[in-house]
Amino acid sequence: MSTTYLEAIREGLKEEMERDPDVFLIGEDIGVFGGAFKVTAGLLDQFGSERVVDTPISESAIVGAAIGAGLMGLRPVAEMQFSDFISCGFDQIVNFAAKTRYRWGASVPIVVRAPSGGGIHGGPFHSQNPEMWFVHTPGLKVVAPATAYDAKGLIKSSIRDNDPVIFFEHKGLYRRIKEDLPEGDYTVPIGKAKVYREGRDLTIVTYGAMVYVAAEAAEKLAEEGISVEIVDLRTLLPLDEETVLASVRKTSKVILLHEATMTGGLAGELAARITEKAFEYLDGPVVRITAPDTPVPYSPPLEEAFLPNATKVVEKARWLYRY
C-alpha cells in the first residue's frame, strides 16, 4: 500500500512515540484538530494529552517549552503551523538551542517541524522557504526530505538526535508524493545526500520539492539525448559535500536548483565550494536556478512565474550542455 509523504511523517512520529516514552509532540491545534495539515491526526487518541500537547498561538512559547523539556531529558517535537511563523521563535532557536552544547555541553534534543514552500497559493506569509536562516547558524541541523521514504527515515533520525534539528516539510508534497515503504523500523542518516538519478552530461543539485522539478526536466532532456544526474541533498546542514563534488567531477557541469530566493540561498554556498574544490573539473559556469528576490506572490499566475519549474530548468540545461 502506497504511503503519502504526509502519512510517512505521521508514521515516523507514531513509531518513535511508541519506541520512546520521552518523545512528545507540542504545537498549535495538533491534538483535537490533528494539525493544520492533519499530520498529527489520531495521535491524541493513542497517546493522550500529556504527549500530544495543544498550545496557545505562541511560537516563542512552544520552542521555549520544548527547549526546557529537552534539557530535562525529554525529546520534544515542536510543530510550527507554517514555517513562516518560526520567526516568532527565532531567538529561542538560534540564540539558545543552537548554542547550548557549545556554551556548557548540554544536549537539546528537540525537533522543530516546519511546513514550508509554495505552490499552494498561500501568499507571502504562508509559502516561504526560510531554511537559510538556520543553515547559517552553527549548532543546528537542517533537514529537507523530498520523498516519503526519506521523510519517515529522517524524522525518526531527527528525533533520536541529541542536538536541535529543524525539519522542513514541503507542503506541496504532503499528499502528492506516494511510495511503498518497507515494513519495520528504519532510519535515514542525517548529513548524507543521495544520487536520485544517475547521469553523465550534467548534474542538478537540489532538495525538497525541486527534486521533482529536476526529475521532470531530466525526462524531457533525455528525449534530446542529454543525460542528467540529480543529487538530492536531503540534509542542508551539515552538507554532504563529498557526494556533490563526486557528481560534479563526473559530469563537469552543474546546475544548482532551489525554491528559496536567490540572494543568500544555498546555491551560492554550493557554488563557492564547487569552485574552491572542483574548479579544474568544470567545463562550464556554475548555474543557479532559484526564485527571484521578491516575497512569494499570492496571485496564482504570479506565483507560477515566481517558482522554478521544469521549463526553466530545461532551458538552462540546454544552454549549459552546449557551452
Looking at 180, 205, 229, the residue that finishes a domain is 180
Q: What is the CATH number of the domain that holds 49?
A: 3.40.50.970
Residue 322 CA, chain-centre distance (Å), reads: 32
Q: What's the average model confidence in pLDDT over 272-297?
A: 97
**Catalytic positions:** 126
pLDDT for residue 311 is more than 90: yes
Residue 139 and residue 66 share a domain: yes
176 and 98 share one domain: yes
Of 132, 72, 78, the closest CA to residue 110 belongs to: 78
Q: Do residue 23 and residue 164 come from a single domain?
A: yes
Look over the chain and give the mean of its residue pLDDT values, rounded to a whole number.
Answer: 97
How many domains in the chain? 2
Rounded to an integer, the average pLDDT of 23-28 is: 98
Considering the domain architecture, whether residues 269 and 214 belong to the same structural domain is answered as yes
Cα atoms found within 13 Å of the Cα of residue 12, Cβ hemisphere only: 29
Please give the backbone phi and psi of residue 73, each rounded to the nearest 5 degrees, phi first: 105, 0
169/239 same-domain check: no
Query: Does a structural domain hold residue 120?
Result: yes
pLDDT tens, 111-148? Answer: 999 999 998 899 899 999 999 999 999 999 999 999 99
Q: Is residue 187 part of a domain?
A: no
- Whether residues 47 and 149 fall in one domain: yes
In Å, the largest CA–CA distance within the chain is 60
Would you say residue 119 lies in a domain?
yes
- Distance (Å, whole) CA 63 – CA 71: 12
In a domain, 188, yes or no: no
Say if residue 1's pLDDT is above 90.
Answer: no
Per-residue pLDDT tens over the stretch 197-255? 999 999 999 999 999 999 999 999 999 999 999 999 999 999 999 999 999 999 999 99
287 with 159: CB under 8 angstroms? no
15 and 47 in one domain? yes
pLDDT average, residue stretch 164-174: 97
Q: 146 and 69 in one domain?
A: yes
Q: Could you tell me if residue 189 is inside a domain?
A: no
Residue range 2-23: mean pLDDT, rounded: 98
Q: Which of 180, 214, 238 is the last residue of a domain?
A: 180
Domain end residue (candidates: 158, 180, 202): 180
- Asked if residue 162 and residue 39 are part of one domain, the reply reads yes
**Amino acid, single-letter form, for residue 182:** P
Q: Are residues 136 and 254 in the same domain?
A: no
The predicted structure's pLDDT at residue 166:
98
All three cell numbers of 77, joined, read 517535537
Beta-ladder partners of 135: none
Co-location of 199 and 169 in the same domain: no
Q: Which domain, by its residues, includes 200?
A: 194-322
Give yes or no: residues 38 and 132 share one domain: yes
pLDDT, position 72: 97
Looking at residue 298, which CATH number applies to its domain? Answer: 3.40.50.920
